[in-house]
Amino acid sequence: MNEYDITVIGSGPGGYIAAIRAAQLGFKTAIVEKEKNLGGICLNWGCIPTKSLLRASEVYRLIKRSKEFGIEVKGASFDIQSIVKYSRSVVDKLSSGVAYLMKKNNIKVHQGFGKLAGNSTIKVVSDKEEQEIVSKHIILATGVRARNLPEIEADGDLIWNAQHAMMPGKLPKSLLIIGSGAIGIEFASFYSTLGVDVTIIEIKSTILPLEDKDISDLAQEIFTKQGIKIYTSNSVKALTKSKDSAQVLLSSGESKEFERVIVAVGIQANIENIGLENTKIKLSPSGFIETNEWYETSESSVYAIGDVAGPPCLAHKASHEAVICIEKIAGKNAHALKKECIPNCTYSHPQIASIGLTEEQAIKGGYDIKIGKFHSNFNGKSVALSETEGLVKTIIDKKTGEILGSHMIGAEVTELISNFALAKQLEGTDFDIKSTIFPHPTISEMIHESVLAADVK
């Protein structure tokens, strides 16, 4: 019999962080993972491989622009299989690192599919055997998967999901991306940079619909200049496959042909076959596991963290929830997560990042606001880098000086957004940021300048 204090089902950024924190606090800990490689979707088929692919395309983009910097590179080319190989090597390296951390922290890894058989028992089924685990506490960290559209199901041939798009056998000449959230935009940026004719279809009136409208509008303007075709307020009415392409009829009435189609229309929770019927666990209307602020489900001793527990579905949120959940179990003075302090990042070119309320949300929330904006073409470091398309927009409560939200697009803004995450977590004000000395020349000065600009009469 395998008996543990805490057992985690799933080894993504929520699951493996939960297991490590549990072991650090003295719990006898196990993790159950159905895949061969640890790390979940994020490490194996999400965050990490896509950033590796985007890095490769960024290098190619810089080589093509080298003449701007007085450097001439002749005959630059790329091999898509070598790019994919590079991204998979990064994945293998980091997955091995997670496996090492399991050993280092004396965490037992059970390979197989985990299914609840009550609030303290898990059946683990693998090709080799079936095991039973008894655990005082069980944490569900089973994540999510890509959602298909009715009658447009990914087949790995003409129709791709994100996983297929990370492993292309060859580059298509033309590509349709259905959906313009972070996943869709990142693939658009990657493939467009490598010379693919990319089209984006978005059912909402703007791309990146969760972002502030100023950022979405500027992103659309920049991506259009890069050659990406964008159709907003539009959807796929019909798709007909042939041997080598897909004929797509849009809701606007236009018909277009594409060699490949990526479906990037959202995600759904991995809740099937994990034994929820053997518990009192409740689901939200959108199919995620319901929890309280400490990630307790409606079944005693069973918790849920990360994407399976609901949006925003972000790796860093999952990891943070993992620590909170374990520390609460341990009786420590845990602090509930503040959703308004969770940053969002899109790693396209240019990058996009945000935290807190958009301008529209702040107004709807009844705040009396002031707004500061600062453009990249006035920032010395951005000009030196020849990355002058960008904006930092900061939304401030006029009465209290509280930073309600910050939204940015431009070079390396995914590295800037943590400044505002820290400011919001510490309940800093515009005065605190104005009183902070930012080094020159840096892109981070745009944070300072955007806050100062909010006071311009």
pLDDT the model gives residue 435: 98
pLDDT the model gives residue 128: 84
| CA atoms 232, 236, 242, 243: torsion sign | positive
The CATH superfamily assigned to 159-265 is FAD/NAD(P)-binding domain (3.50.50.60)
DSSP helix/strand/coil, 62: helix
Q: Is 201 exposed, middle or buried (0-12, 13-18, 19+ CB in 10 A)?
A: buried
pLDDT the model gives residue 112: 98
Output the CA torsion 145→43→160→80 (10° steps): 180
Architecture of the domain spanning 350-453:
2-Layer Sandwich (3.30)
How many residues does this entry show for the chain? Answer: 457
pLDDT the model gives residue 334: 93
Choosing from 335, 407, 440, 448, which is the catalytic residue?
440
Residues 199-251: tens digit of each pLDDT: 999 999 999 999 999 999 999 999 999 999 999 999 999 999 999 999 999 99
CA pair distance 141, 18, nearest whole angstrom: 9
Is 440 a known active-site residue? yes
Which residues 6+ apart lie within 8 Å of 220 measured at CB? Answer: 206, 207, 230, 232
pLDDT the model gives residue 96: 98
pLDDT the model gives residue 457: 74
DSSP helix/strand/coil, 21: helix
Q: 2-146+268-339 adopts what CATH topology?
A: FAD/NAD(P)-binding domain (3.50.50)
DSSP helix/strand/coil, 65: coil
DSSP helix/strand/coil, 94: helix
Each domain of the chain, given as residue ranges in start order, spans 2-146+268-339, 159-265, 350-453
* C-alpha 439, offset from chain centre: 29
CA pair distance 71, 65, nearest whole angstrom: 9
Which residues 6+ apart lie within 8 Å of 25 measured at CB? Answer: 326, 327, 330, 332
Phi–psi pair at 388, nearest 5 degrees:
-100, 5
CA pair distance 229, 37, nearest whole angstrom: 37
CA pair distance 9, 19, nearest whole angstrom: 10
**CATH fold match for the domains 2-146+268-339 and 159-265:** yes
Q: Report residue 117 as tokens.
A: 């058989």
* Residue spans of the chain under pLDDT 50: none
Contact at 8 Å (CB) between 267 and 184? no
pLDDT the model gives residue 379: 98
